[in-house]
Amino acid sequence: MDILARLNEVNDVPVYSVEDPHFRTYGRIVHGYDVQPWIDYMEQETPIPTQGNIYLPSVKEMEEQSMYECMCASLYGGMPIQVGYCNGRNTTYNGFEYHKGSEINIAVTDFMLVLGHSYDISHNTYDVSQPEVFFVTKGTVIEMYSTTLHLSPCRVNDEGFKDIVVLPKGTNTLLSDEEKKWKASGDEEAQLLLMHNKWVIAHPERKPLIDQGAYPGVTGINKELRY
Q: Per the domain annotation, does 215 fall within a domain?
A: no
User: Could you report how far apart the first and last alpha carbons of the chain are, in Å?
Assistant: 13
Distance of alpha carbon 225 from alpha carbon 227, whole angstroms: 7
Q: Does residue 181 belong to any structural domain of this protein?
A: no
List the pLDDT tens digit at each of the 227 positions of the chain. 799 999 999 999 999 999 999 999 999 999 999 999 999 999 999 999 999 999 999 999 999 999 999 999 999 999 999 999 999 999 999 999 999 999 999 999 999 999 999 999 999 999 999 999 999 999 999 999 999 999 999 999 999 999 999 999 999 999 999 988 877 777 899 999 999 999 999 999 999 999 999 999 999 999 999 99
Q: Which helix (H) or strand (E) holds 73?
A: helix 66-75
Asked if residue 108 is part of any domain, the answer here is yes
Give domain status of residue 100, yes or no. Answer: yes
Total of domains in the chain = 1
**Model-level pTM?**
0.97
Residue numbers of the domain that contains 18: 3-170
Q: Is residue 222 part of a domain?
A: no
Residue 212 is assigned to a structural domain of this protein: no
What count of other Cβ atoms lies within 10 Å of the Cβ of residue 16?
A: 19
Determine whether 50 is exposed, middle or buried from the number of CB atoms within 10 Å of its CB (0-12, 13-18, 19+). Answer: exposed
H/E stretch holding 39 reads helix 36-45
Cα distance between residue 23 and residue 219, in whole Å:
23
CATH number where 152 lies: 2.60.120.10
Residue 146 lies in a domain: yes
In a domain, 10, yes or no: yes
